[in-house]
Amino acid sequence: MTQQAVIEIVKTGPLNTVQDAGRSGFRDIGVSVSGVMDPLAFRAGNILLGNDENAACIEVQMFPFKVRFLADTSIAVTGADCRTKLDGADLPPWWACSVRAGQELEMQFPRSGARSYLCVAGGIDVPVVMGSRSTALRGGFGGTDGRPLAKNDRLAAGVTFASSLPAQGMGIEPPEIALANVFPTSTEGLVQLRAIPAGEYALFEADLPRFWSQPWKVSLHSNRTGYRLSGTPVTPSKVIEMRSYGLIPGIVQVPPAGEPIIQLADANTAGGYPKIAGIIEEDLWRLAQVQPGQSIRLVKSDAREAIAVASQINQWFTRLRDNVMPVKTVMGF
C-alpha cells in the first residue's frame, strides 16, 4: 500500500539527501556504506519520535532548506543549530514537536555545526535498496532515485502511531553538552578527534610530532566522501609500493602531497595511499559537524579508550530512551 506523502520540498540545495544508518556487507563489490554523517543526531531524533533507530531521515547540509507538511505528523530536528523556524516561529535546536498539515519549516545556515537532521514520525518511506534507504550519490541509487532532494519532491512516511509528544514539544541536551567530559575541545577551541595509529604509521616517524600537534584545517574540497586536511605536510621516510586495501570511514590516508585525507560515509571501498591513522568511530560524528575552513586537532588514542567512549555514548542513548518511554506509556502505547 502506498503511504500518504507528508513532506513537500519547497527549497533545497545540492547534497541534501535521504539517509539512514547506511548499507553494510557490500564493500566487497564496491558499494560504500553511505548513511548519515552524524549517527548521534540521527539516532537521537528517531528516539525522540519513538521510531526505529534506523528510520530514514533527511540529512541537510546545504542551506536554506524549507519543507511544507502535507499531513499532521511529528518531527525532530537535531544536529547543527540551523536556526529552524516553524511558520516563522523559532524552534529550539535538538527539538521534537507535532506539526499540522500546511505548516512550513525552514532551516538557515547553522550558527554552529555543519549538518542538520529532520526526522519524521514513522521515518521517510523510500524503497529499500541493498538493505538500506540511504542515498548513494556516487552510485546513483537509494533514497530518491539516487539523487539529492529537489524542489517539489514529495516524501511519504512509514506507518506510525498518534503523537506521544507533549503539546509544547520536547527537547534534549546535545551530546557536546551532555557528554562534555567525553568529547573534549582544545584550549584553542579546536575540536579534538581521537585517532589510532594505522598500518604505515612508522613510515612517518620524523613528522609524527607535528602530525599530532599542529592544527589541521578542513579544506573547502571536502564532502561526504572524505575531508581533506590542510597544514604543513607529513611525508614518509621512503616511498613504498602498496597494494590496494579495503577502506572504512575514519581511515586517515596520506597522498603524495603530504596533506591527509579522512575517509567518510561515502568513502571509496579500496585505496592505496599509506594510512597513518584511523579516527575512532565514536568521534566521527564530531568531524561531520566541522565546517570546511574550520580546524581540528588529532589526538593519539587506542582501542581501550575507543571502547570506553562507546560505552559512554551507549549510556547516553539509554538515558534518552528511558526519558522518552514514560511519555509513550502515559499515552497508552
Work out whether strand 170-171 and strand 95-99 pair parallel, antiparallel, or are unpaired: antiparallel
Task: Give residue 323's pLDDT.
Answer: 86
How many CB atoms are located within 10 Å of the residue 252 CB? 27
What confidence score (pLDDT) does residue 276 get? 97
| Residues 161, 50: Cα–Cα separation, whole Å | 9
Cα–Cα distance, 297 to 231 (Å, whole number): 11
Q: Is the pLDDT of residue 142 over 90?
A: yes
Q: Which helix (H) or strand (E) holds 147?
A: none
Band the pLDDT of 326: cuts 50, 70, 90: very low
% residues pLDDT > 70 (the chain):
96
> What are 74-102's pLDDT values in tens digits?
999 999 999 999 999 999 999 999 999 99
pLDDT band at 256 (very low <50, low <70, confident <90, very high): very high
Query: What does the domain layout of the chain look like in residue ranges?
Result: 5-177, 191-301
pLDDT at residue 189 is higher than 90: no
Rounded (10°) CA dihedral 122, 124, 125, 129:
-120
The letter for the amino acid at 57 is: C
Q: What average pLDDT does this structure show over 206-221?
A: 96
Cis check for the bond before 64: say yes or no (omega within 30 of 0).
yes
Say whether pLDDT at 332 is over 80. no
3-state secondary structure of 294: coil
pLDDT at 120 over 70: yes
What integer best gives the mean pLDDT of the chain? 92
Cell 507535532, residue located: 98
Band (pLDDT 50/70/90 cuts) for residue 2 is: low
163 or 143, which is more confident: 143
- What φ, ψ does residue 96 adopt, rounded to 5°? -125, 140
> What is the mean predicted confidence (pLDDT) over 150-154?
98
Of residues 141 and 166, the one with the higher pLDDT is 141
**What is the pLDDT, as a whole number, of residue 328?**
45
State the pTM of this model: 0.94
- Is the domain defined by 191-301 classed in CATH 2.40.100.10? yes
Residue 271 pLDDT = 87
